[in-house]
Amino acid sequence: MPAINTTANGGMGGGKTRIAADIDFEADGKQVTWLKLPHSVHRSAYGHIAIPIACIKNGKGPTLLAMSGNHGDEYEGQVATTRLIRELEPKEIKGRVIVLPAANFPAAMAGMRTSPIDQGNLNRTFPGDPDGTPTWMISHYIETELVSRSDVILDLHSGGSSLLYIPSALMGVSKDKARTKKLLALTEAFGAPVGYVNLGGGGDRTSTGAAERAGKLRLGTELGGAGMVGLDSTRIAVEGVRRIMEHMGIAKETDLTRKKPKTRMMDVGGDDYYVYAPDAGLFEPHVDLGAMVKKGQTAGVVQFVDNPMRPPVPALFPRDGMVLCKRVPGRVERGDCLFHLSTDR
């Protein structure tokens, strides 16, 4: 089923959000509540989708927006932000932390990448639409009401159901040198084993695009994935959020930052960094995460269990690099992403 956006103009159009929020972003203290996204359906004529949100504020200082569940099946960040809401007290900080733990709430509750209501992939809907379907309404709210109030947007992703990553923090490229420097510092500050620059760019329809339009800094992550809550990757998520607060001066520096493990800074470029399934079948990988590979090396082969004498079809690496990400499910269709590489900066 294709994504449904009921809008006529397909864009932001300067409209105001119809999502109600019983929250005062200027008030000191800790507020934990729900956004109310109007949703009139058969079982609930005057109902709304209740999307959890928290604002923890103490005096003047920078604002961090920590969000997860942009893709509903990426769980490490959701654990980290849920814990953050329960554990963080205003007296520990100077400034403000806005937490949106399940950004595409219907997707997060379904444990799916996209919304079961409108099939929306939240990170392909920015700048959203106040009069669109729920996913478009949410991205519009994030862009107009949350990104606009924030200095740093930390959007916690993982590999989701189909991919697994070496836990990474990542940034987009910017033409502005001063901005790039700040983004590089943020990427390192998170403290993941890998920090990478996504040279391919995030695109206008992502949270990166939203941050760019507002002139804000956006840090992303790819924390693990495989549709699970990884032990190491979840610890990295929890500690990384804290380190970003320390880096921004919202929280006092602790040993988490002072004794931070070294981050390997890398690049992820365009299409030649990616390996796609050349045929439909069962993919047998020949390398694992972290492998250093060469151009032309066999990444794996597609086997044909339904026709055993048919020779397997190899998938080759288009360039040298390190295997940063791999596909999880064994069955593949032509065009599925099997691996992507990174290269040292």
Please report, as ranges, the residues that interact with Ca ion according to CB under 5 A. 71, 157
Q: How far is the CB of 80 from Ca ion (least distance, A)?
A: 15
Provide the minimum distance between the beta carbon of 14 and Ca ion in the complex, in angstroms, as a whole number.
29
Residue of minimal CB distance from Ca ion? 157
Q: Are 154 and 65 in contact (CB under 8 A)?
A: yes
CA angle 167, 170, 171 (to 5 degrees): 175
Query: d(Cα 185, Cα 179) in Å, to the nearest integer?
Result: 10
Closest to Ca ion by CB, 73 or 212: 73
Closest to Ca ion by CB, 223 or 332: 223
Q: Which residues pair with 54 in a beta bridge?
A: 32, 99
Nearer to Ca ion, 161 or 257 (CB): 161
Selection from 91, 94, 266 nearest residue 165 by Cα: 266
- Integer distance in angstroms from the first to the last C-alpha of the chain? 41
Q: DSSP for 32-89, please give it.
A: EEEEEEE--BTTBTT-EEEEEEEEEEESSS-EEEEEE-SSTT--HHHHHHHHHHHH--
CB-nearer residue toward Ca ion: 144 or 158: 158
CB of 105 to Ca ion, least distance (A): 16
**Shorter beta-carbon distance to Ca ion: residue 191 or 227:** 227
CB of 138 to Ca ion, least distance (A): 15
CB of 74 to Ca ion, least distance (A): 5
Is the previous residue joined to 127 through a cis bond, with omega within 30 degrees of 0?
yes
Give residue 296's identity as a one-letter amino acid code.
G
At its nearest, how many Å lie between Ca ion and the CB of residue 247? 23
Phi-psi region of 290 (alpha: psi -120 to 50; beta: other; left: phi over 0): left
Q: How many residues does the chain have?
A: 345
Helix (H, G, I), strand (E, B) or coil at 189: helix
Alpha carbons 163 and 157: distance in angstroms, whole number: 11
Measured from the CB atom, is 208 or 257 closer to Ca ion?
Answer: 208
Instruction: Select 76 or 246, whichever has its Cβ closest to Ca ion.
Output: 76
Give the span between the Cα atoms of 287 and 65, in whole angstroms. Answer: 37
């995030």: which residue's tokens? 202
Q: 72 or 300: whose CB is closer to Ca ion?
A: 72
- Dmax over Cα atoms in the chain, in whole Å? 70
- In whole angstroms, how close is the CB of 67 to Ca ion at the nearest point? 12
Kindly state the smallest distance separating residue 25's Cβ from Ca ion, in Å: 26
